[in-house]
């Protein structure tokens, strides 16, 4: 099975895009862009830099949309759907 990052690279490859003329691809451009965007959300992204909230609670922002994440509870951001790479921030 092909991994999400490999599929993204394939879809963005000029050879793949060059298989047809630009005119023929125009109607499909939006579909390609949507597919790449959806696949990119499956590739885990590191969280933003943790900060301390007013109540002293650790606030960890999503690396994609900045939404507040609860430490290691979610594998994906509940707001934007981005896969989370907790790394050292969780």
For residue 83, what pLDDT is reported? 95
Which whole number is the average pLDDT over 57-68?
92
Cα torsion for 62, 37, 41, 11, to the nearest 10°?
Answer: -140
For residue 85, what pLDDT is reported? 94
For residue 84, what pLDDT is reported? 94
Which whole number is the average pLDDT over 24-32?
68
Asked whether residue 90 carries a pLDDT value surpassing 80, the answer given is no
Q: Is 58 helix (H, G, I), strand (E, B) or coil?
A: strand
pTM: 0.67
Cβ proximity of 78 and 67 under 8 Å: yes
Q: Is 52 helix (H, G, I), strand (E, B) or coil?
A: strand
**Hey, how many other C-beta atoms are within 10 angstroms of the C-beta on 31?**
10
Helix spans in 1-85 (H): 4-12, 14-17, 22-40
Which whole number is the average pLDDT over 11-27?
61
For residue 25, what pLDDT is reported? 62
């Amino acid at each position: 099975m092909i991994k999400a990052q490999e599929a993204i690279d394939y879809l963005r490859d000029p050879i793949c895009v060059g298989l047809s003329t630009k005119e023929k691809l125009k109607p499909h451009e939006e579909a390609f862009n949507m597919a790449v965007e959806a696949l990119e959300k499956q590739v885990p992204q590191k969280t933003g830099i943790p900060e301390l909230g007013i109540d002293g609670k650790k606030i960890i922002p999503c690396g994609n949309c900045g939404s507040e994440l609860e430490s290691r509870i979610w594998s994906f951001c509940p707001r934007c759907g981005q896969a989370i790479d907790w790394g050292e921030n969780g």
